[in-house]
Amino acid sequence: MRAGVNRFSRRTAILSLLLSVVIIVMVAGGTVLSAIGQVSNHANRLDDERSRQTTDGALKTFVAQLGANLNDYAAWDDATANAYDPNGLAWMISNFGDMTVNSALFDVAVVIDAKRNVLMAYQDGKPQTVPMDQFFAPSIWILFDSALSPIDPAVPEAKAFIRTKSGIAAVGIALIRNKSGTLDQPSDKRLFLIFARHLDNKVQNLADTYVIDGLHLTTASSEVDNFVPVWDPSGTVLAKLTWPSRAPGDISYSQVSTKLIAAMSLFGFLLVAVFTIGLIEAKRLRSDEEAARQLSVTDRLSGLLNRAGLFRALDDLIDEARLAKSDVALLYLDLDGFKEVNDAYGHGCGDDLIRSVSAGFRCLIPPGATLARVGGDEFAIAFVMKNCDPAALKLADVILAFFDEPFQIGERIVTVGTSIGVASSQIGTINSEELVRRADIAMYKAKEMGRGRAFLYDGSMDSDREMILALEAELRVAIDRRQLTVVFQPLVSAATLRVTSVETLVRWSRPARGPVSPDVFIPVAEKTGLIEPLGIFVLEQACEKAKHWGDIVIAVNISPVQLRNPTFATQVARILDEAGIEPSRLTLELTEGYLIQNPQRASQSIDRLKALGVKIALDDFGSGFSSIGYLRQFGFDRLKIDRSMVAEIDTSDEARSILQATTALARSLGLPVTAEGVEREEQAMILRLCGCDELQGYLYGKPVPAEALADILVNEARFATGMMLRQTA
């Protein structure tokens, strides 16, 4: 559910990001385009204005050129001499009229007197047929009046655009006079020269000269954007000289905008491409990450979740329980005897066993439950259920029953058990760390209480834990201050019942609370390393006390932890030497644990001890995994049958046959056997029949302080001497 929401919001985020990118690209593109648009409009306006000014100048120049020409012809001494001559018409025709043919300068030439009488009129090299009144629009007379009475008397000329029958023309009127400006004629005899230069057929020339494409004349009334009006002297617009806007800005704009749009599209495309590639890459990374994550929470051997995976799963289950107002159950399992299998048959066999156990768990757990392998031989099972404790304990029972059957690993049949701790997080109120801690404590409790069982966590276990910590601290002080003591328990010959040896057993009485069983503090000492000074203390005490006990064998229990210390044999030699005790009088009792865990090193240590002449007994035989054939390689001198094996031999046929088989095996290996925990005569009888040569138990004596044991030995010696005296008597 949470994953779904995440995926949804991630997709929304990606889409909005993509949309934002596209919008940004579009807005940026739009802004640039609009800026370019403004620039191009401005460029258009500038160009139009330039064209207008050019056209205006062209028109003015057009008129000015005509005026300059007219001045050349009218203020001319020859013209004055001939025009005012009554026979001067021929001259005027050849010098004015004929000049109108194919002339770029003027195409109409008229000579008129002050009373508006036309003396000569030519157009395009031909006599003008249309009367002057009709050819020129009336505004010509305005011009005429200007020339007749000019503002500047020195320049009796006027020029402007006038409509004619042939179109629109620049028209100039000038007094015919001497070059110097003088004229020897009365004012009513004055003659005027009129030149007209038609614009209509010269527009193309203007366009070419001034580089204004498409320049043309259009009617005054036409609606055009770019034009220069052609005025006549009356202030009437005769026509408009117009041109199509070149709109250079538009051209640039369209060129630039096309490129820009292409560039923007490319940019946008690239962005989207980069984005998409990024997304794909991110997705690939995510899936790689997911695979790596999966791998990081998986145990390779079993394929189950590992420790990290368990914690992650528990966090989720606790969240789920909180929401559903339900509980999380956690079973913490530790295999009993796994190390022994691993050491005895090799890691391959151990791995197969783990796989078999995992497969079994998979079948036994409820559907949907979480299963993890959290350590070498530790497993965890978790599930969510309302009021989960009874179900969890029931599951624990099913699992314990499952371990009743041995496992077949290849050719081998191996037996392992499990100890289970159960804890629960009610309505998800306890976090994963605390839940695991509680289940772990409950599991240790199960181990302490004898393995192969399940315990539900309760608060008192925490105080047990604290008690152990306190115990450790006190034990350390006690060892330091040599407050521990030793007691001795006699071992008797099965044949004569005489004390053959004594087992040294350590005792500790806590100052405020009284005696603590070695079964409680020895494991604590082993776990904390205190066992080394403790062991040396016991050994020293044993040798010290037993100094005066004749040839009685002294047995001392040795923890596997002590055997790990390579200087142990040297320490033993020193203690024996200091007490003056023959090494052959000392028997060290070893349990099988370390021998199986680390056969190589154990064998070296044992060899070193045996080289001193010390004897080695295998203690607690029959209580654990023990395979006597396997243990044979260590060269023990004696076997001690565990009291659990002895306890029921007088009441159970099965127990008796197991004992018989074990002693037969020991005999076949040539090993003498001690039986411990003998409390009843019946047991002693059976043990004797089975061939045990040494017996130990409350029947023959409880562990007692050195002084009490010395008394026993003295009494026994006295009794023996009495017997001998009686026999000799």
Q: Which is nearer to ligand C2E, 207 or 484 (CB)?
A: 484
Residue 415 CB, nearest approach to ligand C2E (Å): 22
Q: Which of 207, 229, 208 is nearest to 218 (CA)?
A: 229
C-alpha–C-alpha distance, residues 206 and 57, integer Å: 10
| 620, 626, 638, 674: residue in contact with Ca ion (rule CB under 5 A) | 620
Q: Which of 490, 456, 146 is nearest to 332 (CA)?
A: 456
Q: Which does residue 456 touch among Ca ion, ligand C2E, none (CB within 5 to 8 A, set by kind)?
A: none
Residue 519 CB, nearest approach to ligand C2E (Å): 5
The CB-nearest residue to ligand C2E is 697
Q: Which is nearer to ligand C2E, 139 or 489 (CB)?
A: 489
C-alpha–C-alpha distance, residues 236 and 238, integer Å: 6
Encoded tokens for 137: 């629009």
504 near Ca ion, judged by CB under 5 A: no
Distances from the Cα of 284 to the Cα of 272, 289, 666, angstroms: 18, 8, 66
The number of residues that bind Ca ion (CB under 5 A) is: 4
Residue 518 CB, nearest approach to ligand C2E (Å): 3
Q: Which does residue 705 touch among ligand C2E, Ca ion, none (CB within 5 to 8 A, set by kind)?
A: none
Q: Which does residue 82 touch among Ca ion, ligand C2E, none (CB within 5 to 8 A, set by kind)?
A: none
Q: Which does residue 48 touch among ligand C2E, Ca ion, none (CB within 5 to 8 A, set by kind)?
A: none
Q: Which is nearer to ligand C2E, 143 or 491 (CB)?
A: 491
Instruction: Give the per-residue SS3 of 584-605.
Output: HHEEEEECHHHHHHCHHHHHHH
Q: Which does residue 299 touch among Ca ion, ligand C2E, none (CB within 5 to 8 A, set by kind)?
A: none
Distance of CA 371 to the CA centre of its chain: 26
Q: Which is nearer to Ca ion, 378 or 679 (CB)?
A: 679
Residue 545: φ, ψ to 5°: -70, -35
Q: Which does residue 697 touch among Ca ion, ligand C2E, none (CB within 5 to 8 A, set by kind)?
A: ligand C2E
Q: Which residue has the tokens 């039986």?
A: 675
696 near Ca ion, judged by CB under 5 A: no
Q: Which is nearer to ligand C2E, 426 or 485 (CB)?
A: 485
Four-CA torsion 466, 468, 471, 476, nearest 10 degrees: -110
Residues 6+ apart with CB under 8 A from 355: 301, 302
Residue 596 CB, nearest approach to Ca ion (Å): 17
Give the burial string for 685-696 (b: 16+ CB within 10 Å, else e).
Answer: ebbeebebebbb
Residue 504 CB, nearest approach to ligand C2E (Å): 6
Q: Which residues bind ligand C2E (CB under 6 A)?
A: 489, 505-506, 517-519, 522, 535, 538, 557-559, 589, 619-620, 643, 676-679, 696-698, 703
Q: Which residue has the tokens 């979740």?
A: 305
Q: Which does residue 248 touch among Ca ion, ligand C2E, none (CB within 5 to 8 A, set by kind)?
A: none
C-alpha–C-alpha distance, residues 607 and 597, integer Å: 17
Q: Which of 643, 615, 611, 632 is nearest to 558 (CA)?
A: 615
C-alpha–C-alpha distance, residues 33 and 31, integer Å: 5
Q: Which does residue 436 touch among Ca ion, ligand C2E, none (CB within 5 to 8 A, set by kind)?
A: none
Q: Which is nearer to ligand C2E, 79 or 505 (CB)?
A: 505
Distance of CA 428 to the CA centre of its chain: 28
Q: Which does residue 592 touch among Ca ion, ligand C2E, none (CB within 5 to 8 A, set by kind)?
A: none
CA-CA-CA-CA torsion sign (366, 369, 374, 376): positive
Q: Which is nearer to ligand C2E, 156 or 703 (CB)?
A: 703
Q: Which does residue 522 touch among Ca ion, ligand C2E, none (CB within 5 to 8 A, set by kind)?
A: ligand C2E
Residue 639 CB, nearest approach to Ca ion (Å): 11
Residues 641, 621 contacting (CB under 8 angstroms): yes
Q: Which is nearer to ligand C2E, 150 or 677 (CB)?
A: 677
Q: Return the DSSP state at 406.
A: P
Q: Which is nearer to Ca ion, 388 or 522 (CB)?
A: 522
Q: Which does residue 424 touch among Ca ion, ligand C2E, none (CB within 5 to 8 A, set by kind)?
A: none
Alpha helices in 403-458 (DSSP H): 432-448
Q: Which is nearer to ligand C2E, 33 or 708 (CB)?
A: 708
Encoded tokens for 33: 């385009």
Residue 516: what residue type?
Answer: V
C-alpha–C-alpha distance, residues 573 and 575, integer Å: 6
What residues numbered 568-607 form the site for Ca ion, per CB under 5 A? Answer: 589
Q: Which is nearer to ligand C2E, 446 or 617 (CB)?
A: 617
Residue 619 CB, nearest approach to Ca ion (Å): 4
Select from 185-193, 326-334, 619-627, 662-670 the region that touches Ca ion (CB under 5 A): 619-627
619 near Ca ion, judged by CB under 5 A: yes
| 326, 557, 562, 587: residue in contact with Ca ion (rule CB under 5 A) | 557
Q: Which is nearer to ligand C2E, 57 or 515 (CB)?
A: 515
C-alpha–C-alpha distance, residues 672 and 692, integer Å: 7
Residues 6+ apart with CB under 8 A from 339: 377, 596, 597
Element (H, E) at 250: helix 248-296
Q: How many CB atoms lie within 10 A of CB 298?
A: 17
Residue 337 CB, nearest approach to ligand C2E (Å): 18
Q: Which does residue 559 touch among Ca ion, ligand C2E, none (CB within 5 to 8 A, set by kind)?
A: ligand C2E
Do the strands 673-675 and 638-641 form a parallel or antiparallel pair, or are they unpaired?
Answer: parallel
Q: Which of 399, 405, 503 is nearest to 446 (CA)?
A: 399
Residue 642 CB, nearest approach to Ca ion (Å): 5
Binding site for Ca ion (CB under 5 A): 557, 589, 619-620
